[in-house]
Chain A
Amino acid sequence: MRKEFTITITGEAGQGMQTIGMVLCGLFKNTGCHIFANQDYMSRIRGGNNFFQIRISNTPAYTLRQKFDIVVALDKNSVEIHKHKLAKNGIIIADKKQFKILQDDIFDVPFYDIAKKYGSEIFINSVACGVVLSITGIDFKILEDSLKQAFSDKTTQIIENNIASAKQGYDFTTQEYKQDTYKIVCCRPTKKFLMNGNDAIALGAIKAGCKFYTAYPMTPSTSIMNVIAHFAKNYNIVIEQAEDEIAAINMAIGASFAGVRSMSGTSGGGLALMVEGVSLSGMTETPVVIVDAQRPAPATGFPTRTEQADLNFVLHSGHGEFARAIFTPGTIEQAFYLTIKAFDIAEKYQIPVFIMTDQHLADSYRDVILDPNSMITKRHIIGKDESEGVNSYKRYTLTENGISPRAIPSWIKGVIYVDSDEHTEEGHITEDAEIRNRMVEKRFYKKMKGLMQEVQSPETYNEDAEIILVGFGSTYGVLKEACENFKEKSLGFLHLSQVWPFPSSGVISVLMKAKTIVNVENNAGSQLGNLLFSQTGIKPDASILKFDGRPFDVDYLMEKLEKLWSKKTS
């Protein structure tokens, strides 16, 4: 009996690894297990090698493992590619006859024959589900329900064929595979949600009252657009595919100026086009939320892979000096709650707010519990009723905290002037030096000061440990699991889910006590490490950096730490 294992479904692009992977995720979640699943896909629609890995565990899972326990290979290539990643006692499942494989140590299942019996190769996925289920000792009934749910939009004939082929795969395995190495200890089922980072951002935006979403498609941000589009009718949201990212950000700003909460999402290359608009938001003091779902760059980079190398870019995107906030959620829950907060902060301070994620967080699935009603939305505008009495209005009234009350056009009796040129309190163009000083103080110093008061504190674990790992964004999971596994060696972490304004005091108080500080980042330039130094004067003692386009996994990080540790003690 097992408390945890990793299943990988692998084959060519277009073979439906995603579908079968998601069915298995849902199914194991319903048995009460915890799930962490991630796709590794190439930038192509057919062919190549893609894989979908699912970690199934009795305890909450936050990250990937390096080795696979069960590999379901849907083509011949996959066997070759993934053989060496097999864990001790691992098992490869494949159709030996179909792929003409002679190797002995493979559990041979006649996927093609079974599927063909029910009409078509498309049922291979269901056969595979049946096989995995039998190996892990789960009752077939659960699979039947899951398949019904997954194919609810198909004809009854198709659903029945799927179930029948799954059953045959299940029965075949029950007969042929007698070991119980992979029988899982089930937990008590709870009602949890299964989603990825982009789902959480989209839902957060809907909850926060986003009424206008516009973007130009770019992996890995695209599914935010798809999820919002899926719910747009129910929540009266207008979505529009912009002609380019320049249009997208300017549209988001236009809608926001008119009075609605708006957002755009892209990846680094698209953000490169948006930067003039970021600056426009800063100058005109128009709130906007921008998601940067990072992928490896420069230029088009690795379109479907992961990296955390846009930090410097986002910190400095846009010309000139103005306040901004940057959130870097590390988990799916944080992606949801921080998106709601991003809208709030953007509107309150009338600034651009960034949510930085990456392909790894965007595309990896976990079981989560979210409380949709835990946050109340409060608007920071002159409300409709209040507006009726407002006659003469100055958009950029100078105030103590740098925030001018924001009116909505057509609600107030007066008119609103907004300008990208330097402007007077009224919003008209000016070249006056003194007004320029006041406006820079307002947009930059005063707003930053306010933002500093509400910065998201870093999360810490094992604060008194000798070694403290420092990370931001999607590495949360590996930091956490590495520390949990290393407990006896006194390892702790500090994770930043907001990097700007930088939560200096909180960070300093933790890091002052640490003997060794190691920053862990998915980039080559140690960008967080440098930011830490520039904001606190604390320099990390070592860096663990990974920039091959693949995410960290807990085993990899532990290996690196082990090496570091032995160097230190030798």
Chain B
Amino acid sequence: MEQKDFLSSDSPTWCPGCGNFGVLTALKKAIVNINKEPKDILLVSGIGQAAKLPHYIKCNCFNGLHGRALPVAVAAKIANHKLTVIVTTGDGDCYGEGGNHLLHNIRRNVDITVIVHNNQIYGLTKGQASPTTDIGYVTQFQPQGVFEEPLHPVSMAISLGCGFVARGYSADTKHLSWLIGEAIRYKGFSLVDVLQPCVVFNKKNTYQWYSEKAYKLEPSYDSSDKVLALQKADEWDNKIPLGIIYKKQKQTFEEKTGLYNLPPLIEQDIENIDITIALEEFK
């Protein structure tokens, strides 16, 4: 497959210079690399600027409700485990409105990949604070500045037992595309948190701000060491590590339920289901 096979008829409505473009470029590259046809890939999203992304790639797309991408995605994967399922979501969508689903889908460990475009702000609704907005940041709705402690998605995911946690930066599309590829290849629930500048509403965490702090993990970094991973995940104020922060193979939902041993649920014949045996139990 080539880039042109994934060309959508719909074009982005993002602001010029938006960090979402970098994620789109990186995701396209990653998808071309995994060597699957558009029809075998499903992009699921919620609502937000980030969540519009699936329209801009020619793959199957389910653009659902704010915060609700994960339940749709995991269930679609369960129904047809041959699909490659990828979620594109924002920090508000995934860590705010959809927080409960993130928590529980890390536990559920269905084999999907979640890419969070983390611009530390609500873009689509014009600039309110998100769960990852830095303390003190002033918005129209937070005129005194945000006073809640921001969520640290990477350390949170590791603590919850997520088996694949990575951080990328949308200005480094080459590295990000590699990360996304690894996340897709990983068998289980994988989370890629992406630093994504919003050039309109986030005046603090700009390209310059992220670029000054972001650095790539050394090749010698041992991503299977959880204690080290949690240490790395805590780095934020001066230096922000990029890469696969934590990786560990765990049994997936599909393995535990034996789904892989069956043809996908969608291929089962339902026209001739005989329930006489079940009925026997009610005699």
Contacts and interface: CB of A to CB of B under 8 A. Distances in A.
Interface in A209-225: 209, 211-212, 214
B72 A257 contact: yes
Contacts of A258: 42, 75-77, 79-80, 83, 266
A514 interface: no
A280 B64 contact: yes
A212 B270 contact: no
A248 to B, nearest CB: 8
Interface string A227-269: 0000100111010101110111011111111111110000000
A238 B77 CA distance: 12
Contact of B283 (A193, A207, A208, A416): A193
Nearest to B47: A420
Interface in B263-283: 265-268, 270-279, 282-283
Interface in A167-211: 191-195, 199, 203, 206-209, 211
Interface residues of A, number: 68
Interface in B202-232: none
A236 B265 contact: yes
Interface stretch (B99-107, B154-162, B190-198): B99-107
A129 to B, nearest CB: 19
A277 B75 CA distance: 14
A417 interface: yes
B255 to A, nearest CB: 13
A378 B271 contact: yes
A253 B276 CA distance: 29
By Cβ-Cβ distance, the 8 closest A-B pairs, closest first, are A209-B270, A254-B75, A254-B72, A259-B266, A258-B79, A250-B71, A251-B75, A243-B104
B117 to A, nearest CB: 17
A376 B267 CA distance: 18
Interface in A252-299: 252-262, 276-277, 280, 284
Given A258-B42, A284-B64, A416-B61, 16 more contacts: A203-B278, A235-B273, A238-B78, A243-B104, A247-B68, A250-B72, A253-B72, A257-B72, A258-B266, A259-B266, A262-B79, A410-B39, A410-B80, A410-B82, A420-B65, A427-B61
A435 interface: no
B75 A415 contact: no
Contacts of A280: 64-65, 68
Given A236-B265, A250-B65, A417-B55, A207 B275 contact: yes
B269 to A, nearest CB: 9
Given A409-B83, A414-B39, A252 B100 contact: no
A379 interface: yes
Contact of B10 (A370, A376, A416, A428): A428
B80 A409 contact: yes
Interface string B239-272: 0000000000000000001010010011110111
Nearest to B272: A377
Given A277-B68, A416-B61, A376 B100 contact: no
Contact of A418 (B52, B62, B259, B277): B62
B9 A426 contact: yes
B58 interface: yes
A260 B79 contact: yes
By size class, the interface of chain B is 35 or more
Given A191-B283, A250-B65, A415 B76 contact: no
B86 interface: no
Contacts of B47: 420
Nearest to A244: B100
Interface string A406-431: 00111011111111110000111100
**Most chain-B CB neighbours within 10 Å: which of A207, A208, A277, A410?**
A410
A251 B74 contact: yes
A255 B42 CA distance: 12
B261 to A, nearest CB: 10
B78 A257 contact: no
A444 to B, nearest CB: 20
Interface in A349-388: 370, 372-373, 376-379, 384
Contacts of B149: none
B282 A193 contact: yes
24 contacts: A193-B282, A209-B271, A238-B78, A240-B75, A242-B71, A247-B71, A247-B104, A254-B44, A254-B73, A257-B72, A257-B76, A259-B80, A260-B265, A372-B274, A372-B276, A372-B279, A377-B271, A409-B39, A409-B83, A410-B39, A410-B83, A412-B39, A416-B61, A419-B63
A5 B270 CA distance: 43
Nearest to B62: A418
Interface string A472-511: 0000000000000000000000000000000000000000
B65 A276 contact: yes
Contacts of B75: 212, 214, 240, 250-255, 258, 262
B60 interface: yes
A248 B72 CA distance: 9
A234 B279 CA distance: 13
Contact of B72 (A238, A251, A417): A251
Contacts of A257: 62, 72, 76
A379 B39 contact: no
A255 B76 contact: yes
Contacts of A255: 75-76, 78-79, 265
A80 to B, nearest CB: 36
A384 B77 CA distance: 18
B271 to A, nearest CB: 5
A243 B266 contact: no
A191 B282 CA distance: 10
A428 B9 contact: yes
Contacts of B73: 254
A212 B68 contact: no
**Most chain-A CB neighbours within 10 Å: which of B77, B80, B275?**
B275
Contact of A206 (B80, B82, B104, B275): B275
A243 B103 CA distance: 9
A409 B78 contact: no
Nearest to B55: A428
Interface string B48-68: 000010110011111111001
Contact of A372 (B54, B262, B268, B275): B275
Nearest to A252: B75
